[in-house]
Structure 1
Amino acid sequence: MLGMNWIPLLSAVAGAVVALGSSLVVDLRRDHSRRDRDRRQERRRQGVAFTVALVDALGALRLVAAAEQDSAQRRVATSEAVTPVYVAREQLLVTGTAGQLAAGESAFQALIDVRDAVRAGSGRDSAEYHDAYHRFAEALWRFRLTIRSDLGEPEITPQELSRPDWTDRDRCDTCRSRAQSPAGS
């Protein structure tokens, strides 16, 4: 008779252990899902911040390329134009996926090529500037597409945005003029 009294108690203890274990598993899964969601949001935020920093730096470099400055002034102005990108790049390096880092570094290096062309005295209408700019435009689009892919967004093609490719050469008056001139043939 004494053995029969332990069965309900053991059943209750076993039920409590199962319930507690299940509750812990649910909490762990919820926490894991929350951390994954937070990481994705942080990657999105850093990807957008890096993209904006690259675009802003390009705008600043365009202004420097159009300005009349001596080489010392140009050197300072080009450095100042890209300085904010370094902060966004560091943040991306900490939070980004391997694909984001590779595409981000490619875009960053292409921006540095634009900076170097402007620093060397290339104006906005020069072949050196445009060659560097169009490589940058393509690398920036590759970075954007990598961020979209990592976030689970559908892939897009240049044609979906009424473009032949990601270089922007088709929209560039300088490059079209150069291609039509006898020297561009």
Structure 2
Amino acid sequence: MADINWIPFASTALGAVIALAGALLAGVRNDRGQRHRDRESDRLRTYVDFALALDEAHAALREVARTPQDEPVRGVAASAAVHAAGLYGVRERLLMSASPALVTAGESAFDRLIGIRNAVRSGVVLSTRDYHDVYHPFADALWTFRVAARVEVGQNLLNPDDLNRESWSERERCALCGQVGDFA
């Protein structure tokens, strides 16, 4: 039997194993990075969806608040406005994916919107002081959520004066607060 020199075979096999392990490791790191980017994209989509659902529900509640105070289906219409906006589902996504600070800001905006819904259900009309009193805290909380979401995704802090506003509550533009503008 001839002597076979195993060193070239062993070094070739070892080189192949090292190359394969390196390729697998690079693939795993690539996949991990992609999963991280996908999660961040999903979170951002949730934040935007939540803000849009709040806005849509609020717009629908404003429409209900324009109906006569004694309208018999007003309470049902106010509840349906919030449901139709898809707010509850996107709120769940927010609760599952956001940081505690953003969840807190989101819950505050959600609670203030529910305050508007409850006021409208009870017969509050859009152009009244009662609607006004529940609207401004909602407007302020919605902007607080927007700013918290910007910070969460690494954007610069946004202040009211960046958008030529005195505050996020919109009181300075409110006719019922004694300033210029039209609240209704």
TM-score range, shorter chain: 0.7 to 0.9
- In the alignment, the residues of structure 1 paired with residue 28 and residue 145 of structure 2 have an alpha-carbon distance, to the nearest angstrom, of 33
SS for the counterpart of 2:154 is coil
Equivalent of 1:158 in 157, 160, 180: 160
Q: 1:10 maps to which residue?
A: 10
Deviation string, structure 1 residues 153-176 (Cα, Å, up to 9, x no partner): 222111111112211111211222
Measured at CA, do residues 142 and 9 of structure 1 come closer, stay the same or move farther in structure 2, by a change above 3 Å? Answer: same
How many residue pairs align between the two structures?
A: 176
Q: 1:66 maps to which residue?
A: 66
Measured at CA, do residues 25 and 99 of structure 1 come closer, stay the same or move farther in structure 2, by a change above 3 Å? Answer: farther
Say whether the 8 Å CA contact 1:71–1:119 is kept in structure 2: no
Q: 1:79 maps to which residue?
A: 79
Q: 2:113 maps to which residue?
A: 111
Equivalent of 2:172 in 163, 170, 173: 170
User: TM-score, normalised to structure 2's length?
Assistant: 0.85
Structure with greater proportional helix content: 1
Structure 1 stretch 134-143 or stretch 91-100: which is displaced more? Answer: 91-100
Return the offset for 1:2.
5.3
- In the alignment, the residues of structure 2 paired with residue 2 and residue 100 of structure 1 have an alpha-carbon distance, to the nearest angstrom, of 72
Q: 1:134 maps to which residue?
A: 136
Return the offset for 1:73.
1.6
- In the alignment, the residues of structure 2 paired with residue 36 and residue 99 of structure 1 have an alpha-carbon distance, to the nearest angstrom, of 20
- In the alignment, the residues of structure 2 paired with residue 17 and residue 146 of structure 1 have an alpha-carbon distance, to the nearest angstrom, of 48
Return the offset for 1:34.
0.8
- In the alignment, the residues of structure 1 paired with residue 178 and residue 3 of structure 2 have an alpha-carbon distance, to the nearest angstrom, of 97
Q: 2:182 maps to which residue?
A: none
Equivalent of 1:147 in 134, 146, 149: 149
User: TM-score, normalised to structure 1's length?
Assistant: 0.85
Return the offset for 1:71.
5.9
Unaligned runs of 5+ residues in structure 2 are: 180-184
Say whether the 8 Å CA contact 2:140–2:169 is kept in structure 1: yes
Q: Is residue 19 of structure 1 aligned with residue 30 of structure 2?
A: no
SS for the counterpart of 2:73 is helix
Q: Percent identity at matched positions?
A: 44
Structure 1 stretch 117-126 or stretch 54-63: which is displaced more? Answer: 117-126
Unaligned runs of 5+ residues in structure 1 are: 178-185
Amino acid in the other structure paired with 1:66: R
Measured at CA, do residues 2 and 165 of structure 1 come closer, stay the same or move farther in structure 2, by a change above 3 Å? Answer: farther
Tell me how large the CA RMSD over aligned residues is: 2.1
Amino acid in the other structure paired with 2:142: L
- In the alignment, the residues of structure 2 paired with residue 99 and residue 14 of structure 1 have an alpha-carbon distance, to the nearest angstrom, of 51
